[in-house]
Structure 1
Amino acid sequence: MDRAPRPAPLLEVDVDLGFALFFLFLLCFFLLVTVVRCAQTVADPYGSFSTSTYQEEQIT
């Protein structure tokens, strides 16, 4: 007698593919953050420095 094939579980996940996709998304997130930070630095290169470094010291 032939048995009917069992239906596949709804949440069948390949663990290796899950790890690969997770690290791919993590890499893309860090790349996006880096691009935004670099664009901010190019737009305003001296904005992150404090103004006290550009003041001349008084020599007495």
Structure 2
Amino acid sequence: FAGGQPSHGALIAPNTAGSLGSFDVDKGFAMAFVVLMCLFLLAMMVRCAKLIVDPYSAIPTSTWEEEQIN
């Protein structure tokens, strides 16, 4: 502010009719990120619940079968 008057570079152009209306791109990216994080959290919860219910299903059978001793 020079002498109480805002500089011309500090002014923000008003929303014109040719723009996308009241859609805020930053808010859209933030909401998309939140939705993706919620989907990831839900997938991890399902995976962990399956692991808790049946922990041995995640282990290949070759690792817990008895080995042949010569």
The alignment's C-alpha RMSD in Å is 1.7
Runs of 4+ that moved beyond 2 A: none
Identity %: 54
- Secondary structure of the corresponding residue to residue 67 of structure 2: coil
The alignment status of 1:18 with 2:28, answered yes or no, reads yes
What are the ranges of 5 or more consecutive residues in structure 2 without an aligned counterpart? 1-16
User: 1:2-59 CA distances to partner (integer Å, 9 max, x unpaired)?
Assistant: xxxxxx57x4210011011000001100000010000000010010111111112112
What are the ranges of 5 or more consecutive residues in structure 1 without an aligned counterpart? 1-7
Aligned length, in residue pairs: 53
User: Which amino acid is the alignment partner of residue 25 of structure 2?
Assistant: V
TM-score, scaled to structure 1: 0.76
